[in-house]
Every structure is written in structure tokens, then in C-alpha cells.
Amino acid sequence: MHLRIIALSILAATLSASAQQPPAPLKADSILILKKDHLLELLSAGKVIRTYKVALGSGGLAPKERQGDARTPEGHYVIDNRNAASHYHKALHVSYPNADDRKRAARLGVAPGGDIMIHGLPNGQGLIGSAHRIYDWTLGCVAVTDQEIDEIWTLVPTGTPIEIRP
């Protein structure tokens, strides 16, 4: 009888402990950036699981056309690389330029540029926090706070599709 009570107590304690643990965070299966709204959304199965306010390229909200224009591109890309030792805390590389971007740049007779990232704040400046969003300051990247890029880093696997809209 005592063994049965002990076994039931252990089972009840195990079930209670597992019920109290928060659910594991969902991994994002896509990213949507809405430039006009300065928002980055992580989605899983079509539902928004996280939203972040962002700073964009200092060249304005028009789509990126050429290297050095400091604009954030628009289009469909993927997260194709990760840099844990970035000059901007951590960075997820966006596969810009895509084929359409290269064609447009060729028509204009210019280089399309590259090195577009979703990243944190410049190393040593993390205390700025959300105040970095007061104005668009990047060279075409999408910037979030260091704490936000840490979270995004864990939720976004390499290969995740990303759409950047006007």
C-alpha cells in the first residue's frame, strides 16, 4: 500500500512540475519587415509570435537601389548566415541582393551592394537600448536592441525566409 501511495505521489509531483513550466518558445518559420511602420514580425505557421520596433537605413524609406545609398532593401530573401562576433552585438545576414536586385542594379549601371543584416547595437553602446529607434541610423540594415537580437537569434534558424515590404 505504501509503495502505491509513494508512486502516485511521485507521479502527481512530476505532472505538477511539468504543468508549471512555461511552454518552449516557437521557432519562427518566416520574418516580415514593414518598413513604413518600422516593425519586424516573427511568424510561425502564419501567426505573429513576436513583434519588434526597428531602426532602418538612414537613406530613407525608398527601396535600396545601389551600394552606399544607406537604404533598406525590399523583396524576398532568406537568413543565410549568422555572426555571433558582429560589430553590432549579433547579426543575422539577409541574402540581399536577390536576382531582381541584381537586374535592377545592372539596368542602372551600379553595384547593388550587400551586407544587409538584422543586428543589435554597436558593441559597447548597448545601454542606448530602445532610444536607438529615435531615428533611422543604419547603412541599410535592420537594427534592434541587443536583448531583442538575443531573442531573435534563438527563434530564427538559418534558412528562414524574410520579406521586406515598403
Q: What's the pLDDT tens digit per position in 15-28?
A: 444 445 456 568 99
Which residues form the catalytic set? 119, 141
Helices (H), the chain: 2-20, 99-108, 146-155
> Under CATH, domain 25-165 is a member of which superfamily?
L,D-transpeptidase catalytic domain-like (2.40.440.10)
CA 103 to chain centre: 26
Mean pLDDT confidence for 85-92: 97
Q: What is the CA radius of gyration of the chain?
A: 21
Q: What is the DSSP letter of 66?
A: S
State how beta strands 161-165 and 30-34 pair: parallel
* pTM for the model: 0.85
Q: In the chain, what are the domain boundaries?
A: 25-165
Q: What is the DSSP letter of 98?
A: -
